[in-house]
Amino acid sequence: MIRRITVLFPAAALAACTLPAATVGPVSQLQWFAYTDAQGQRILAAPKTAGEARTKAWQGWLQQHRSAWRQDRQPVTGPTQWCATWLEAQRKQEVCRRGGTLVHFQYGVLRDEAAIQAAQKIWLGY
């Protein structure tokens, strides 16, 4: 009996370490709000629908960066440049670009410059 437990425990631990990363459910009702114009001037934000190409790109971006969000205690400063909102599994999700970071109101803060630029390209590059 003890031998089985010692064999099963390492196998279970190994299986837990190799589980696939959390997947992103289907993104629906994706909208984008711009808070600054191309020159960085504040504007009144109005929702814009994302369209099929942006929705597909955003879902891929979310899948790629799902595990990169951090719950750090460093303050996020600077003006909000844009926000994206969507439904995922019937729950509202929101990511905002503020200063040099992305803030996800459920998962935390993303400070990876390459990931931020990729998100920026989705919203401003299409």
Number of domains in the chain: 1
Cα separation, 112 vs 116, whole angstroms: 6
d(CA 27, CA 88): 5
Does the pLDDT of residue 56 top 70, yes or no?
Answer: yes
pTM (predicted TM-score): 0.72
The predicted-structure confidence for 69-101, as pLDDT tens digits, reads as follows 998 878 888 889 999 999 988 899 999 999 889
In 1-126, where does DSSP find H-type helix? 2-17, 51-65, 113-124
Encode pLDDT of 20-49 as tens digits: 344 556 788 898 898 887 777 888 888 888
User: Can you give the CATH number for the domain in which 39 is found?
Assistant: 3.30.1490
For residue 26, the enclosing domain spans: 22-124
